[in-house]
Amino acid sequence: MEVLETDAQLVARCRAGDEDAWRELVDRFSRYVYAIIVQAFRLPEHDAEDVFQEVFTRAYEQLDKLRDDDAIRPWLAQLTRRLCIDTLRSGAREGPGEEAVFEPAGVDDTIAQLDEALSVHDALSTLPGNCQEILDRFFARDESYRLIGEALDLPSGTVASRISRCLVKLRTELEGRDSASAPSGG
Amino acid sequence: MPAYTEETLAELLRTLPAPAQAWVHAAQEIPLARRGLDEIVERARADRAFRNALIADLELALEAEGYEPDPLLVEALRARFPS
């Protein structure tokens, strides 16, 4: 299985001016930022695109201000949150007000769920390419067995069993991570 | 430790759909934009002679106008102005 570069390592490469690292960083966090915008704040698509681009533009400009490279995920979440609130505030055509007024209920819970979902996606990216593709197509892109079968040249029954096998691999990877990061007790 | 049942995993995978690929590409090209990509594209839209020069010989046209033909910039422009 592939070993995923840590967030801190990726940020350090971005800071050093490595543009491949920047592309990878965008790739790693694009779903997360997008989900905060459209699921936690429920912005319409045209506003969502503006906020999405602004988040990454500011992240690029302000990466040097990030104190802890490991904290890129919460930092991006906070940046996205602020820009969503600014958009909602400007749409309301009112003066400055409490941020909470513009924040939909349950944002913290939604972001917590997205954090967990991103961890699952990180684990997914360490699985073999065929597992990544089939799970992404079925769950994230909501493609049918038939469509996946056509794209990957597999019978529908094989698609179903492969999805099931890949989910087991994903669960094993996640449980391995959890036990590796669990406190040793005592 | 969270219990990752098949259903939990499926739900978490569904939670993060991908944004439009064009959005992701635009964000990935921010460093390029910082090096003048936006300005060159804008100028090529407004100036037909410059656009034609880019299509005819991209690197030469950039150098003639004083732009540094950075490989990533050239690659991004070539995708926009194929010869």
Test A178 with B2 for CB contact under 8 angstroms.
yes
Q: How far apart are CA B31 and CA A101, in angstroms?
A: 35
Model pLDDT for residues A44-71, shown as the tens digit of each residue: 999 999 999 999 999 998 999 999 999 9
Contacts within 8 Å (CB) and 24+ apart, A175-179: A175/B1, A175/B4, A177/A119, A177/A123, A178/B1, A178/B2, A179/B1
Test A117 with B2 for CB contact under 8 angstroms.
no
Q: Which two tokens stand for residue A175?
A: 């449980």
* Helix (H), strand (E) at residue B63: helix B58-64
Q: What is the domain extent for residue A134?
A: 127-186
Mean pLDDT of B1-16: 82
- Pure H helices in chain A: 7-15, 19-35, 45-62, 72-91, 99-102, 107-124, 129-135, 145-152, 156-181
- Domains held by chain A: number: 2
pLDDT at A180: 66
Does ipTM come in above 0.85?
no
Model pLDDT for residues A116-175, shown as the tens digit of each residue: 999 999 899 899 999 999 998 998 888 999 999 999 999 988 999 999 999 999 999 988
pLDDT at A177: 76
Residue A110 lies in a domain: no
DSSP, res A184: -
pLDDT at A3 over 70: no
Q: Are B6 and A169 in contact (CB under 8 A)?
A: no
Q: Which of A36, A76, A139 to mutate to test the interface with B (most CBs of B within 10 A)?
A: A139
Residue A16 lies in a domain: yes
Nearest Cβ partner for A114 among B10, B16, B31:
B16
Q: How far apart are CA A41 and CA A28, in angstroms?
A: 21
Pick the residue from chain B with its C-alpha nearest to A166.
B6
Q: Which two tokens stand for residue A63?
A: 């990466």
pLDDT at B5: 86
pLDDT at B44 over 50: yes
Does A94 share its domain with A181?
no
Test B18 with A116 for CB contact under 8 angstroms.
no
Q: A172 vs chain B: nearest CA distance in angstroms? A: 9
Test B10 with A19 for CB contact under 8 angstroms.
no
Residue A120 lies in a domain: no
Model pLDDT for residues A169-181, shown as the tens digit of each residue: 999 998 887 666 6
Q: How far apart are CA A177 and CA A43, in angstroms?
A: 34
> pLDDT-derived band of residue B75, with 50, 70 and 90 as boundaries?
confident
Where do the domains of chain B lie?
23-80
Residue A112 lies in a domain: no
Does A163 share its domain with A83?
no
**Range scoring the smallest mean pLDDT among A142-146, A165-169, B33-37, B65-69:** B33-37
Q: Which residues of A touch B16 (CB under 8 A)?
A: 31-32, 35, 114, 117-118, 121, 140
Does A100 share its domain with A132?
no
Does A44 share its domain with A82?
yes
Does A98 share its domain with A135?
no
Residue A115 lies in a domain: no
Residue A113 lies in a domain: no
Residue A121 lies in a domain: no
User: What is the CATH classification number for the domain harbouring A134?
Assistant: 1.10.10
Pick the residue from chain A with its C-alpha nearest to B26.
A53
